[in-house]
């Protein structure tokens, strides 16, 4: 048995029947909802409970990540958008037109995360424009987290539904 065959036996390349795909999906969405524009959720809770220095740390970190995100968006935003659209379109065509399951899986991971990326950029713009502090800043970050979680729930639902469809369609001969 050669190394390639061993790897394919250990790591099933059919994504929707692979446990590693579902673990990656869960980790990706839990991480996306924990890090709100780069700020950890526990820091937001600490600022809400303690105030004072924790609140100042939160505001400083939000300012740093907001400025960083907006700088990258202004300098390389068009190129990043073009490359992201190219990659997602290629994955969609390869996955759904040519029926490549790995491309479908990557598209179902990448497309919703691109929505979260756009949402993060929009939240950074709002924070830069309004300059909220204290409770207003925490509300804005919580709103972003809730929207991220909604996108995640819808994405997980559609990914699970598509994965079940693909796995069931493999079990039905001639389908």
pLDDT in tens, 124-136: 999 999 999 999 9
Residue 174 above 70 pLDDT?
no
Residue 51 confidence (pLDDT): 87
Q: What number is the average pLDDT over the span 160-165? A: 93
Mean pLDDT of the chain: 92
What pLDDT is stored for residue 18 in this prediction? 84
pLDDT tens track for 73-103: 999 999 999 999 999 999 999 999 999 999 9
Distance CA 93, CA 90 (A): 5
pTM, entire model? 0.88
**DSSP class per residue in 3-62:** HHHHHHHHS-S-GGG-HHHHHHHHHHHHHHHHEETTEEHHHHHHHHHH-HHHHHHHHHHH
Given this model, what pLDDT does residue 9 score? Answer: 64
Extents of the domains making up the chain: 53-161
Q: pLDDT at residue 62 above 90?
A: yes
Asked if 95 contacts 11 with a C-beta cutoff of 8 angstroms, the reply is no
Report percent pLDDT > 70 for the chain.
Answer: 94
pLDDT at 67: 97
């Amino acid at each position: 048995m050669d190394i390639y065959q061993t790897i394919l036996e250990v790591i099933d390349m059919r994504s929707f029947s692979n446990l590693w795909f579902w673990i990656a999906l869960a980790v990706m969405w839990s991480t996306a909802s924990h890090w709100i524009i780069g700020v950890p959720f526990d820091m937001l809770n600490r600022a809400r409970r303690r105030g004072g220095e924790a609140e100042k740390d939160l505001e400083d970190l939000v300012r740093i990540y907001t400025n960083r995100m907006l700088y990258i968006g202004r300098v390389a935003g068009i190129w990043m958008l073009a490359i992201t659209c190219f990659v997602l379109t290629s994955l969609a065509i390869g996955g759904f037109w040519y029926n490549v399951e790995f491309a479908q899986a990557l598209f179902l991971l990448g497309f919703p995360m691109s929505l979260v990326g756009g949402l993060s950029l929009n939240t950074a713009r709002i924070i830069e424009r309004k300059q909220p502090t204290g409770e207003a800043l925490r509300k804005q970050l919580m709103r972003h987290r809730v929207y991220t979680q909604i996108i995640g729930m819808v994405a997980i639902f559609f990914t699970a539904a598509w994965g079940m469809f693909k796995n069931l369609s493999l079990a039905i001969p001639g389908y």
